[in-house]
């Protein structure tokens, strides 16, 4: 893992356990997404970093051992799942309508219904009084 000056210097590693190379702008982009403040360029940069970090377009096989191959394939699966969601995952809503739809923080598209207030009234008791 190494902080690089330019994206062209960020190369894949043979060891899938080694953290990926990155540039400072990628870190800032991911942090901006986490804060909910990322602009379009930062959002794209963060996704591009994740695709590279997951080894999405890399070969999973590692001649050093089956465990390294399995780990690399697990990382790659994360990346291919994101690609699938971006390009091929079925949705019920027209993609043009998705962008304009408001979604709450839990991913729900509908507001939660308000619970009706109980009509039962509580009796007023003094602080030391208990129901027996």
Q: What is the pLDDT of residue 50?
A: 96
Residue 57 sits in which domain range?
3-93
Helix 66-87 to helix 40-53 angle, to the nearest 10 degrees? 150
Q: What is the pLDDT of residue 34?
A: 97
Per-residue pLDDT band at 126 (split at 50, 70, 90): low
Q: Look at residue 101 and tell me if it is in a domain.
A: no
Q: How far is the C-alpha of 23 from the C-alpha of 30, rounded, in Å? A: 11
What are the angstrom distances between the C-alpha of 30 and each of 5, 7, 23, 26, 45?
17, 15, 11, 6, 8
pLDDT band at 127 (very low <50, low <70, confident <90, very high): low
Ranking 14-23, 31-40, 48-57, 104-113 by mean pLDDT, the lowest is 104-113
Look at residue 120 and tell me if it is in a domain: no
Q: pLDDT for 56-82, tens place per residue?
A: 999 999 999 999 999 999 999 999 999
Classify residue 108: in a domain, yes or no: no
Predicted pLDDT of residue 11:
87
Q: Is residue 129 assigned to a domain? A: no
Report the predicted TM-score, pTM, of the whole model to 2 decimal places.
0.68
Domain-embedded: residue 98? no
Percentage of the chain lying above the pLDDT 70 cut: 73
Of residues 48 and 12, the one with the higher pLDDT is 48
Provide the domain count of the chain: 1
Q: CB-based burial of residue 50 (10 Å sphere; 0-12 exposed, 13-18 middle, 19+ buried)? A: middle
pLDDT score, position 14? 87
Q: Render 23-80 in DSSP notation, one character per residue.
A: EHHHHHHHHHHHHT---HHHHHHHHHHHHHHTTTTS----TT-HHHHHHHHHHHHHHH
Let me know if residue 112 belongs to a domain. Answer: no
Residue 76 lies in a domain: yes
- Helix, strand, or coil here: 4? strand
């Amino acid at each position: 893992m190494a902080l690089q000056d330019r994206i062209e210097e960020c190369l894949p590693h043979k060891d899938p356990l080694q953290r990926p190379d990155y540039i400072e702008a990628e870190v800032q982009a991911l942090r901006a997404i986490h804060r909910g403040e990322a602009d379009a360029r930062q959002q794209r940069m963060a996704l591009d970093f994740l695709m590279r970090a997951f080894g999405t377009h890399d070969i999973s096989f590692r001649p050093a051992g089956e465990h390294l191959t399995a780990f690399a394939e697990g990382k790659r699966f994360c990346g291919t799942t994101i690609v699938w969601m971006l390009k091929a995952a079925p949705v019920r809503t027209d993609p043009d309508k998705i962008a304009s739809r408001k979604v709450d923080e839990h991913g729900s598209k509908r507001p939660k219904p308000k619970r009706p207030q109980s009509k039962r009234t509580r009796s007023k008791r003094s602080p030391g009084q208990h129901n027996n």
